[in-house]
Amino acid sequence: MKSQRLIVANWKMNPETPEAAREIFLATRRVGDKLKRTETIMCPPAIYFAGLAKLASKKVHIGAQNLFWENSGSYTGEISSTMVKSSGGSHVIVGHSERRELGETNEMINKKVLAALKQELTVILCIGEKERDAHGEYLSFVKQQLGSALSGIQKKFVENFIIAYEPVWAIGKSDREAMKGSDMYEMYIYIKKVLTEMLGREYAETIPVLYGGSVSALNAEDILNNGHVNGLLVGRQSLDPIQFKDILTIADAQVKAAK
Ligand code: PEP
């Protein structure tokens, strides 16, 4: 298990200008560079990607929000894993629920995962159910998402793999509606169990599991502490450098407390 905290910033389709993107990036880098045990992965829209990648540092990395599985060709509007890599990116979010909502299937996600790993990009795979049910069917749903995304991956690539559990019902809400740390811990155990069945214990243990869904400075500590996760995927709050600074500082302090 990695002792590092990983905090992923998903800017979604924001901000509206490259100047604003640069400002947010630099403000966060000033904080992220000082943190001892936390790595920050900033995922801006593709159009800002190459410009911001030049500003990445040892502790503040750049990731894409999506990619296509072919390296080049007639795929209007897409970007490839080779483009992400050669433009200075180290990570990519795959399977975000907002992309699944636009028609991305488990099969497409698996192709994207394999293409990204081949380029030695670190994949941040998003999984999570749309809703909870009393019979626990959401657990099989999550298991299927995981099984399908991981299909055919070579174990040597496992170290380039991060899972972000993002229950869709918790994304884009208020922090009060986010998952509680203790509930996240149950899910964390379940995800590790599924990974152990798929890859064996040794590999399963090395894969970091993050939580995403309406994280703020108010709930970050509970989720990190009681959820036992390795980090967070932060959407809207990552666009506000003041709020995001608080989240990053809490994450780094939590690692120190756990030592
Ligand atoms: C996300 O975009 O993955 C996300 C978790 O968003 P938010 O933090 O805004 O809910």
Residue 143 pLDDT: 98
Q: Is the Cβ–Cβ distance between 236 and 10 less than 8 Å? A: no
Q: Is pTM, for the whole model, over 0.85?
A: yes
Residue 255 pLDDT: 74
Residue-wise pLDDT tens digits, 44-101: 999 999 999 999 999 999 999 999 999 999 999 999 999 999 999 999 999 999 999 9
pLDDT exceeds cutoff 50 at 253: yes
Q: Is the Cβ–Cβ distance between 37 and 4 less than 8 Å? A: yes
Coil vs helix vs strand at 1: coil
Average pLDDT, the chain: 95
Probe ligand 1: pick from 127, 163, 233, max atoms within 8 Å of CB? Answer: 233
240 lines ligand 1 (CB under 6 A): no
Domains of the chain, each with CATH number or no CATH:
5-127+136-258 (3.20.20.70)
171 lines ligand 1 (CB under 6 A): yes
The size of the chain, in residues, is 259
Residue-wise pLDDT tens digits, 150-174: 999 998 889 999 999 999 999 999 9
Q: Are strands 91-94 and 5-10 parallel, antiparallel or unpaired?
A: unpaired
Residue 25 Cα distances to 17, 39, 41, 58, 136, angstroms: 12, 14, 11, 14, 40
Residue 1 pLDDT: 45
Residue-wise pLDDT tens digits, 187-219: 999 999 999 999 999 999 999 999 999 999 999
Q: For ligand 1, what atom is nearest to the CA of residue 178?
A: 10
Q: For ligand 1, what atom is nearest to the CA of residue 172?
A: 10
Beta partners for residue 8, in sequence order: 41, 233
Predicted confidence band of residue 4 (pLDDT cuts 50, 70, 90): confident
166 lines ligand 1 (CB under 6 A): yes
Predicted confidence band of residue 259 (pLDDT cuts 50, 70, 90): very low
Residue 256 pLDDT: 59
Predicted confidence band of residue 8 (pLDDT cuts 50, 70, 90): very high
Mean pLDDT calculated for residue range 221-236: 97
- What is d(CA 164, CA 147) in angstroms, rounded to the nearest whole number? 15
Residue 254 pLDDT: 76
Nearest CA to ligand 1 atom 6: 235
Nearest CA to ligand 1 atom 1: 235
97 lines ligand 1 (CB under 6 A): no
Catalytic machinery residues: 96, 166
Element (H, E) at 192: helix 181-199
* Alpha-carbon torsion (101, 102, 107, 112), positive or negative: negative
Probe ligand 1: pick from 7, 124, 127, 166, max atoms within 8 Å of CB? Answer: 166
Indicate the Cα dihedral angle 173, 103, 147, 191, nearest 10°: 0
Q: For ligand 1, what atom is nearest to the CA of residue 10?
A: 2
